[in-house]
Amino acid sequence: MMKKAAILMLCAAGLWGCFSASPNKAYFQLYLEPKAAPAPAFDKILLIDRLVVDNLYDDFRILYRLTPYEVNYYPYIFWADKPSQMIRYALDGYLVSRKTFRRVLLDATRGETDWILRVVLHRIEEVDAAAAWRARLSMDLEIVEAKTERVLASRRFDRSEPLPRREVSALPPALSHILAEELEALLADLQGK
C-alpha cells in the first residue's frame, strides 16, 4: 500500500511540474538611437551584407559569462531575433533614420550597390564579474566598394562597458551604445571618400 501511495505521489508531482506555470519570458533587441542632426549624406547606395557570426553567439538565448572559461545562457531571457539579423536591422534603422546614404539596402544585386558594409561579430555577451556586470561587444566593421572590393574604411573593436545595474535589461542599451559609437567612428573615417 505504501509503495502505491509513493508512486501516486511521484506521478502527481511530475504532472504538477508539467502543468505548472513557467517563469515569464523576456525578449530584448538592440536599438541605435539616431543623433538629432543627420550626418552629411553620402550620395551612395549602401548594402548591409549578411553578418558573419560564430555559432556560439548566433542564438536567441542571451549569453553570459561568470569566468572567461564558462559559457551560460539565460533560460527565460532571449534576443527578439538572432544576433545575425538583429544587428543588421539595428544598423539599417540607424543609417536610414540618419539619412547617411542615398539608400540603404538589406538585399540587392551588386549592380545596384555602390558600397557594402560587412560585419563580423566575434562576441556579444554579458560578463558577470564580482565587482560589476559588463556588456561586451567585439566586431569587425568594414565598408568596401562593390565593384572593386577596395576597403574604404574599417574598424575592429572589442569593447566592454560597465552596466549601471546587475540586471540583464541593462545589457541591450549598453551594447546599442557601443555599436552606435563604433559605427559613427567608421562613418567619420569615410568622410571625403
Q: What is the 3-state secondary structure (H, E, C) of the chain?
A: CHHHHHHHHHHHHHHHHHHCCCCCCEEECCCCCCCCCCCCCEEEEEEECCCEECCCCCCCEEEEECCCCCCEEEEEEEECCCHHHHHHHHHHHHHHHHCCEEEEECCCCHHHCCEEEEEEEEEEEEEECCCCEEEEEEEEEEEEECCCCCEEEEEEEEEEEECCCCCHHHHHHHHHHHHHHHHHHHHHHHCCC
The pLDDT assigned to 35 comes to 74
Query: What does each of the 193 residues of the chain score in pLDDT, given as a tens digit?
Result: 555 544 445 444 454 444 445 679 999 999 998 876 566 678 999 999 999 999 999 999 999 999 999 999 999 999 999 999 999 999 999 999 888 898 999 987 666 899 999 999 999 999 999 889 999 999 999 999 999 999 999 999 999 999 999 999 999 999 999 999 999 999 999 887 7
Please, what are the domains in the chain?
Answer: 27-190 (3.40.50.10610)
Q: Is the pTM of this model over 0.75?
A: yes
